[in-house]
Amino acid sequence: MRYGFWLPIFGGWLRNVEDENMPATFEYAKTVAQKGEQWGYSTTLVAELYLNDIKGPEKDSLEAWSTAAALAAVTEKLEIMTAVRPGFHYPAVTAKMAANIDHISNGRFTLNVVSAWWEEEARQYGGIFTEHDERYDRTEEFVQVLKGMWTNDVFHFRGKFYEVNGAHLAPKPVQKPHPILYAGGESERGKQAIVKHCDAYVMHGGTVEEIARKVADMKQRREQAGKEPFRSFGMAAFVICRDSEEEAQAELKRITDVKLSSGYAGYHDFVNKSQLELQLKLQDYSVSNRGLRPNLIGTPEQIADRILAYENAGVDLLLLQFSPQLEEMERFAKQVMPLVEERRNRLATKGEK
């Protein structure tokens, strides 16, 4: 299992808690990233939203790509997975930017391709927001242009949404043939695009049974398409680790006490524009990306056992959220990560006997 974390670019992850003691500043994000790689985290995911989806559209937030480039220069080992939404970017320019950041990071830059869901944000920032399936049509062309720019000396492309005429991109990315393309999607159209064009699949939080079904389904789709296996299956989760189960449950109750605020401004678009497989309740939206469904809540021992269950279900990358982030990331690294390894080794030893 690899452990990743969402970069804290919104000032927190909790819509019902006003101040989480984790400011939306580059200095705080840099500290979290540098400490994270020291503590054994492999990956940071930098979300891309121009409005603050957690604390409210009027609140501070960091822009993803400039933040990712800055982090690339001040970290050494961390994979910097950065979201990109085709409706807000030109693909040839994005390919050039990604190649440049891949060089700054010496081959640590990857992309999370997102087809977008927040119509109001697109209206404010001039993004292209169309019907759900057409967004994936655009995404497919966008990814084709990225790969073409990264792997051809001279690239030509003519599609419904994009046109590239004899473009050069040099230097090429450090990673060969190109940076890893992650993507997540739950609609039939989304899964078709991901199977055809991307390298790894990332999921919102779900139960072990839900995730096992998704992993098995995507593996089968990939095989039927005649493609190489996905390089990774990742899942989002929010962690509440405490010395006792009672303390953990008390914290869960505190953060899910729904207080309607501007932090819920995107709820309608997220539910109605994304074609989710599961109905999302308002309480689930208290934490982003269905992070509470994996139930990584309890003592270090309980959380370690649940992580092993997800590992057996096919997950090899956890994309974790914490609050307050710095303190809880350290607790997880020191109390949970070693237990997972210890329990895995113990189970392996029993299996050999």
* pLDDT at residue 278 in the model: 46
Confidence of residue 60 (pLDDT cuts 50, 70, 90): very high
User: How many domains is the chain built from?
Assistant: 1
- At residue 330's C-alpha, the angle toward residues 81 and 80, to 5°, is 10
**pLDDT for res 276:** 43
Question: In CATH, what number is assigned to the domain containing residue 93?
Answer: 3.20.20.30
pTM for this structure? 0.91
Q: Round to whole Å and give the CA distance between 221 and 31.
A: 40
- pLDDT higher than 90, residue 214: yes
Query: Is pLDDT above 70 for 265?
Result: no
In Å, how far are 12, 263, 320 from 18, measured between CA atoms?
9, 9, 20
Summarised one tens digit per residue, pLDDT across range 282-315 is 566 778 788 999 999 999 999 999 999 999 999 9
Does the pLDDT value for residue 137 go beyond 90?
yes
Residue 121 token pair? 């944000």
Mean pLDDT within 172-190: 95
Instruction: Give residue 274's pLDDT.
Output: 46
- Name the packing angle between helices 26-38 and 64-74 (round to 10°): 50
Q: Is the pLDDT of residue 275 over 70?
A: no
| φ and ψ at residue 134, rounded to 5 degrees | -65, -30
What pLDDT, in 10s, does the model give residues 238-255? 999 999 999 999 999 999
Beta strands per DSSP E along 118-204: 155-158, 163-167, 181-183, 200-203
The domain of 288 spans 2-352
